[in-house]
Amino acid sequence: MTRALFIIDVQNDFTEGGSLGVHGGAAVAAGISRYLAANPGRYDSVFASRDWHSATGDNGGHFASTEAPDFVTTWPVHCVAGTTGAEYHPQLATSGVTVHVRKGQGKPAYSIFEGLTDDGETVPAALDSRGVDEIDVVGIATDYCVLASALGARAAGRRVRVFTDLVAGVDAASSAAALEQLAAADVALEHS
């Protein structure tokens, strides 16, 4: 069996002080780094995704432009390509990342499966070429991109675990609902 880790959107704009920061985001970044340091060689591949939105336009309606964001389908401007907000959080150790994925280029994108690797490969193709059949998922935000990415991995036929101590969500109630939805989809919810 070949195992991969998905690190979802641990970016400056999604952590405290960012334009769409979630409570606990910096702790998740540091926790993932500690986890990787304590488990060298555990993963055959480590994928890390980032929102990488276009600087112009509303990115397919993803950015609120004429009204206040609803924080469900429209959001404040965040993770614009090439900005500090789009970079990985400084407490996230990225030296072990083997596959970088950018998503949301000009359109809404929540799942890592909607992105492309730096080599222009789709995530399913990257998983297939590496023979990945098990995926552990960590990152931000539990109720949006972590949820969509873990469900995408299940839909792609992989066995999936989400480490609940290494995720942070936008809202407590929607994060709890997301975890229930993941459990119902046969995603294992575990502590790292």
Nearest to 12 by CA among 107, 94, 78, 101: 78
Active site residues: 9, 103, 145
Which runs of consecutive H residues, i.e. helices, occur in the chain? 25-38, 123-130, 147-155, 172-184
- Side chain identity at residue 97, one-letter code: V
Range list of β-strands (E), the chain: 3-8, 45-51, 99-103, 116-117, 134-140, 159-168, 188-190
